[in-house]
Structure 1
């Protein structure tokens, strides 16, 4: 399954929007403005963030039981949801 260009452009727009908000509305205490971000990511969203094919985390999960230390929760309909906080920590170089 290929990720649509419109999905990637939406992610880019969301990131741009957050950056604009933070630059136009700085907080006096120096904390970063945090918007409501989904706590779980679909496999396609995970793949877009990590810039891999959606099959990559699914194949790794099948082989090793995890993908880069990430373990999804499985919904009754068979879909997988990945924890956004763990993905963020992974991208920041933290060990999971």
Structure 2
């Protein structure tokens, strides 16, 4: 029976793991941010999805689709200081990326948007 040593099993160098660990340490998960700001996790995700930021915080999206939020800016919000204003180009990129892939829009949202567009173009008034 052949034994696999940790060195043979891993192709990632130690410095890569250290860099990753340092990056994660400087950022908070959505769950941690929600706990610190006393809101539900979904509130944060919805704000980011809708506006491209939550309370001026812009997360980093990891390859596994998780969001990591900048710890220093979250800590500033917790103590009552405003987070830095996000760059408008970052928000525009986020919104453009969402608009570019219509398959990511849920069917019920797509139907509402189409109905609203139809009302606006036909001059129909909502009741």
Paired residue total? 59
The yes-or-no answer on 1:95 pairing with 2:55 is no
The yes-or-no answer on 1:47 pairing with 2:24 is no
Q: Is the 8 A contact 2:58 2:69 kept in 1?
A: yes
Secondary structure in 2 matching 1:89: helix
Partner of 1:86: 73
**CA RMSD in angstroms, aligned pairs only:** 0.9
Larger Rg: 2
| Shift in Å, 1:95 | 2.4
The yes-or-no answer on 1:58 pairing with 2:45 is yes
In structure 1, runs of 5+ residues without a counterpart are 1-37
> What per-residue deviation string (whole Å, max 9, x for no partner) do you get for residues 10-66 of structure 1?
xxxxxxxxxxxxxxxxxxxxxxxxxxxx31110011111111110011000011110
In structure 2, runs of 5+ residues without a counterpart are 1-24, 84-127
TM-score, normalization: structure 2?
0.44
**Partner residue of 2:63 out of 76, 80, 87:** 76
Stretches of 4+ aligned residues off by more than 3 angstroms: none
Larger RCO (CA under 8 A, 6+ residues apart)? 1
Mapping 1:21-40, distance limit 5 Å? 38-40=25-27
Higher helix share: 2
TM-score, normalization: structure 1?
0.58
